[in-house]
Chains A and B, each alone.
Chain A
Amino acid sequence: MSIFRKKATAGDAAPPPPRRRLSPRAIFWQAALLVALAAIAAWLVMNARAALDARGMTSGLGFLFDQAQFSLGEAFFVFHPGETYLTAFAVGLGNTVMVSVVSIITASLLGTLVGLARLSRNGLASGLAQAYVYAFRNTPQLVQIVFWYSFFTLLPHARDSWSIGELIFASNRGVALPAPENGAVFAQAAAAGFVGFLVAWGVSILVERRRRRTGLRWKPLRLVQLALILAPALVVWAAAGAPADWSVPHLKGFNFKGGATLSPEFLAIYFGLSFYIAAYIAEIVRAGIGSVDFGQFEAANTIGLSKGDIYRRIVAPQALRVIIPPLAAQYVSLLKNSSLGVAIGYPDLFSISNTMLTYSGRTIEVLCIMAAVYLVMALAIGAVSNAANRYFAIPGRTS
């Protein structure tokens, strides 16, 4: 046995290819390309310097700490006139990240649902899913966003708003929802619950490892996990005096008081991002499940797995390997397209930067910072997707 293995590895390791010397011609062309690029860059920079001098403009990043005297629409984070440009960047970044995260979650759920519906044996479900994918993929995202914006701003006035059970009101001022009186406590409780969730996940990994080693199951695992998630959240909530009051929106004058309001700008960009990307995700999910060999379904069926278990234990792990790379590309695309918020006045990174470059006159600096921030976020999603792909990869298979 060991002899065979040794032989195999010896045969596999081909001798390293001889290092190819670059021919003089290759060196010449590459050097020429480098010189040409450097010359163009130098020419551009000289032009820019001359242009800035001619306009009496200075350059540099010092303006970031200057006060900015503009105000912006409200979103997750609010910018107040008089704060610095750096704060404005942070507010824009926060709003971009928040709307992207919320939209990514919605688009993933909706896209998976539509993708599964397309595979459904029910003709009506698959037909409707296909119609959805056709309609939303074959039209520009910007048209969709502008359409949603005009839909939400053309809703009736607050006085004749549409309401669901006198709790949720939709009017041209946005959608007013009931919200906890003391939102901060609930946010902290949710954060504590999330920490508990991470701990519960770790516990399940440890238990699984023990099961593989010893074959022993730990029966109360699910209960313990539930407790681990709920307990910290409840403790935080109780420690703050267990606030249970809900604030319900009610009409006062021309607008709603109380509750929480989702602005038409947020709703338009949220719908526009989620519905468009969901159509693409549906196709990716469909292709991913389609890539799983039909024999896998049949085999799982034969050994008596339930339909849920077939999908959870057999199909999903194999489909995810096909799904993750294009899914990550769609997430990057969603993040980048959140810049379309500028078309309707949602204060995301792009639209705040757009305002900033008008007020500060530092076009080059503002645009470069913004581009760098988007690039870093896109690369981060790519890195996470690569890690997830490695996690789901089947050892020994290259693709």
Chain B
Amino acid sequence: MSAAIGSYATIGKDAPRRPAPHGAGRLAQLKARYFATPGTSLLTIVLGLMTVWAVVSFVRWGIIDAVWYDPTAEACRTASGACWAVITEKYRVILLGTYPYDEQWRSALIIAIWVVWAVLTAFRLFPLRLRLAGWLAVFAVTLVLMRGGVFGLSYIGTDAWGGLPLTFLVFGGTIAFGIPLAILLALGRRSVFPVVRFVSIATIEGVRGIPLLVVLFFGTLILPLFLPPQLDVDKLVRAEIGMVIFFAAYAAEVIRGGLQAVADGQDEAAKALGMGYWLRMRKIVLPQAIAIAIPALFNDIIRAFKNTTYFAILGLFDVLGATKVALDDPAWVRYGLEGYLFVFLLYFLICSGLSLYGRSLEQDHARRTRRAEQ
């Protein structure tokens, strides 16, 4: 007896094969993941020992033997572990910069406003328009609080601005001015006018080919030479112009990618309805293009946040610049490692938050397009 021709069924003594031992209990899963073959077992053991060693030595250095509070840095000298006292002693300088001591409540208030509004934005408790309007208000309040000179607040010049509020302000300004400029550059690169196209391409490619530091130096050192002497632009603003242009050149390419992904028929249909160029872009093409570009755009936005640290090289006191100032104190100069680890952690938390938010926007978009296609 044999099975029908063309059948894969086995007949007779061949017992059906047992299913693969997949999902057969927690232990089997662990074994498949970590000890499947002798080679991978060895890898697990070696990596595991190294990880345990690293964690144990870090805990010993950073927690057990560490000094947490020590205003004079005396105990730190004899301790074998980390000296977190440098943070408890200098956290005000690191987070708030060289802002006048009595007015530092203003800086602290700004940080609180930013964090609160960022959380409210991230959970999308309000409609988009309200969220964006809220950011405009946050921006305006930040400027008023930092600068003062109105509502009975004392005036404080930009040279004293610093810390997290300055980092936030620089970042917010870069995004707020950079994205519109990026959209213009991206549209310009696809323009039918050769002159507009050439100017856009030259700007984008030229800026992308040189380091951000060179762009910032152009802004801070060369711009004043090219402007009339009576037009005195603040150093902070000049550096910010460099940040905006650099961000826009990168974001323009991302948005151009989004524009290319929008089907030509969308634009053509709008044209057939008699819509003009700007109306088509504003209502039909750009909303779709930006939604497509958002995941990649968030990479650039996170990079813009990381790039605010370049201000430290220009001698401005963003978080990194302020940390440098804090660690110039001869009593604490030996605890740079702890200081920079703290800054590292701070940036890590903020950038991770931004990246999580970007991913949630991406999922939102995916869900909406799936619904639209159904």
Q: What residues of chain A have their CB less than 8 Å away from a CB belonging to chain B? A: 26, 29-30, 33-34, 37, 44-45, 47-48, 50-52, 54, 121-125, 128, 134-135, 137-144, 146-147, 150-151, 153-154, 332, 336-337, 339-340, 342-343, 350, 354, 357, 363-364, 367, 370-371, 374-375, 378-379
Contact = CB atoms under 8 A, between A and B. Distances in A.
B28 interface: no
A367 B344 contact: no
Nearest to A377: B209
B195 A121 contact: no
Contacts of A125: 43-44, 47
Contacts of B343: 143
Given A26-B193, A50-B228, A154-B337, 14 more contacts: A30-B194, A47-B228, A51-B225, A121-B33, A124-B43, A125-B44, A140-B306, A140-B347, A143-B320, A146-B320, A336-B212, A337-B211, A350-B213, A374-B210
A346 B41 CA distance: 43
Contact of B221 (A123, A134, A139, A357): A357
Kindly name the residue among B206, B222, B225, B336 whose own CB sees the greatest number of chain A CB atoms within 10 A. Answer: B225
Contacts of A44: 226-227
Interface of B: 33-34, 36, 40, 43-44, 47-48, 51, 192-196, 199, 206, 208-214, 217-218, 221-222, 224-229, 302, 306-310, 312-313, 320, 324, 327, 334, 336-337, 339-341, 343-344, 347-348, 351-352, 355
Contacts of A154: 334, 336-337
Contacts of A153: 336
Contact of A122 (B34, B308, B336, B347): B34
A153 B355 CA distance: 33
B196 A33 contact: yes
A37 B196 CA distance: 11
Contacts of A124: 34, 43-44, 47-48, 51
Contacts of B339: 150
Given A33-B199, A150-B340, A340 B348 contact: no
Contact of A139 (B210, B211, B344): B344
B34 A146 contact: no
15 contacts: A44-B226, A47-B226, A47-B227, A122-B44, A123-B33, A124-B47, A138-B352, A138-B355, A142-B309, A146-B320, A150-B336, A150-B340, A374-B211, A375-B209, A375-B210
A342 B213 contact: yes
B229 A343 contact: no
A125 B48 CA distance: 9
B226 A367 contact: no
Contacts of B306: 139-142
A128 B192 CA distance: 50
A325 to B, nearest CB: 12
Given A143-B343, A144-B344, A363-B225, A26 B217 contact: no
A147 B337 contact: yes
Contacts of B310: 142
B34 A367 contact: no
B334 A47 contact: no
A137 B33 CA distance: 26
Nearest to B43: A122
A221 B43 CA distance: 35
Nearest to A343: B313
Contacts of A143: 309, 320, 340, 343-344, 347
Contact of B214 (A54, A135, A147, A374): A374
Contact of A29 (B193, B212, B351): B193
Contact of B211 (A37, A140, A350): A350
Contacts of A343: 312-313
A140 B309 contact: yes
Contacts of B217: 354, 367
Contacts of B308: 140
A121 B310 CA distance: 39
Contacts of B352: 134, 138
A137 to B, nearest CB: 8
B341 A147 contact: yes
A353 B354 CA distance: 35
A150 B320 CA distance: 13
B214 A350 contact: yes
B199 to A, nearest CB: 7
A33 B310 CA distance: 33
A123 B212 CA distance: 38
A367 to B, nearest CB: 6
A143 B209 CA distance: 23
A371 B210 contact: yes
A399 to B, nearest CB: 13
Contacts of B227: 44, 47
B347 to A, nearest CB: 5
Contacts of A34: 195
A363 B320 contact: no
Contact of A140 (B40, B196, B229, B307): B307
Given A34-B195, A52-B225, A342 B313 contact: yes
B343 to A, nearest CB: 6
Nearest to B310: A142
Contacts of B228: 47, 50
B16 to A, nearest CB: 23
A339 B193 CA distance: 36
Contacts of A138: 302, 347-348, 351-352, 355
A367 B51 contact: no
A332 B208 CA distance: 9
A121 B224 CA distance: 57
B47 to A, nearest CB: 5
B351 to A, nearest CB: 4
Contacts of A137: 351
